[in-house]
Amino acid sequence: MEKLIDRFLRYVAIDTASDPNSMSQPSTNKQLALSELLVKELKAMGIENAELDKFGYVMASIPSNTEIDAPAIGFIAHVDTSPDASGARIHPKIIENYDGKDIVLNEEKGIVLSVNDFPEMEQYKGQTLITTDGTTLLGADDKAGVAEIMNAVGYIMEHPEFKHGEIKIGFTPDEEIGRGVDKFDVARFGAKYAYTMDGGEIGELEYENFNAAAAKIHIQGSNIHPGYAKEKMLNSIIIASELNDMLPINQRPEFTCDYEGFFHITHFNGTVEETDIQYIIRDHDFEKFERKKDMLRKCVEFINFKYGQNCARLDLTDQYYNMKKEVEPHYHIVEKAKQAMEMAGVKPNVKPIRGGTDGARLSFMNLPCPNIFAGGHNFHGKYEYVPVESMEKASEVILNIISLFAK
C-alpha cells in the first residue's frame, strides 16, 4: 500500500492540466514532466525499451515469459488532468481509518465532503481515503490509473516467477480534451487487446460509451444605439438564448441518467453584436445521436429563417463513437475482466460510460479496449477523492487479467 500511495502522491504533485485552446500535441508542455518521470521509473524497473515520443505518448513493453501462445495485452492511462479545475499546487489529505462521517476539506473556506451529498462515502468506512484540500482537483482521474499500472508493472518486474504473455504499457496526454489518441500509433503499441484504467468507483467495468459531438454556434447580431434601435437592432445575446430555449429541457445533463443522452451548453459569451455558444451532444444510441444533431441543425436553420440567412453559423463535429460495436465481437475480453475482478474479491458492475475514454476511439482503431475502474469519485473538482484500497484492487485486477490470458 505504501508504494502505491507514494506513487500516486508523486504523480498528483505534478500539474498536468491539458488545454482545449492549444493546438499543440500535447496541448501543454507540463504534461511531459510526468511522462518523462514515468519513462525514468520504467527504465529503473528494468524496462529499457520505455520511451516518450514527440507527441507525448509513453510506450513500453515487457516480453512474454511463458510458453503459452498468449496475445499481447495493453494497459493504458492518461497523464493529463481536466482544465475544469486547477491542477496546480495540489495538497492531498490522507484520511486513515475513515470513520464514515463528513470530512472537512478546508475549514477556512467551509468546504466539506459531505456524506449527505455523497452517500457512497459510507461504503469506505475503515479504509484510507485521499482527498483534496478543497482548493484544487485531486487528479485521481487518471493518475490513480497511472499509479495502478505502474504498481502492477513493478510487481511483475520484481517477481519473475509470475507468468505472463507480452505486456504493453501506454500513457497518453490530452484525454480530458478529447485528443488523447489523435496521434497514437496502434501498430507501434503492438497490443491485440487493451484496457484503459480510467473508470470510477471500485467494480466499474465499461464497454459502452456515448456517441459524442461538439457544436460551436456563432450568432451575428446588429448593434444599434438603443435609443434608435426599433426594427433595426438584432441582439445576438437574446437570439442565442432563444436558440438554446428551442432545445428540449428534459434532455439536459441535470435531467438525464443511464442510457439517456443530452444537449449540454458549455460556453456562452456574447455582446449585442456577436455571441458564441458551444454544446456537447451525447447519446449511446447512434440513431438518437444523429437525430439530436439534426435537431440542432434545424434550430440554426430556423434562426436564419427568422433573422436573416447570415445570422447563425454552426460548426458541428463528431468526437467519438460508442465502442460497444467494436468490443462486442471480442466479448471474451470483457469476461476476462469480470473474472479478474471476482478473483480479487470485487463485484463487477458492468455499466455504460456516461462519457468517453481513450479506449472508445482506440476500439475504432482496431484495438478493442474496455474500461476498468481506477477507484476515484467526484472527478474534475474539489470534492474528488479516492480510496487507497480501491487502487490496490485495481492493480490486482490488472495482474489477474494478465494471468488469465497466460493460461
Residues with catalytic roles: 80, 175
Q: 10 Å Cβ neighbour count for 203?
A: 21
Q: What CA–CA distance (Å, rounded) separates 334 from 370?
A: 7
User: What is the residue type of 375?
Assistant: G
Sheet holding 349-350, edge to edge: 51-52, 58-62, 167-172, 73-78, 193-199, 371-373, 204-206, 349-350
Q: How far apart are the first and last CA of the chain?
A: 28
Nearest residue to 178 (alpha-carbon basis) of 385, 341, 380, 360: 360
Handedness of CA 326, 202, 144, 159 (dihedral sign): negative
Q: Enumerate residues 6+ apart whose C-beta is below 8 A from 225.
A: none
Let me know: does 224 contact 232? Beta carbons within 8 Å. yes
C-alpha cell at 204: 466499474
Q: What CA–CA distance (Å, rounded) separates 149 from 134?
A: 27
Let me know: does 190 contact 61? Beta carbons within 8 Å. yes
Q: Enumerate residues 6+ apart whose C-beta is below 8 A from 22.
A: 28
B/e letters for 151-187, b = 16+ CB within 10 Å, e = fewer, are: bbbbebeeeeeebbbbbbbbbbbbbbbbbbbebbebe
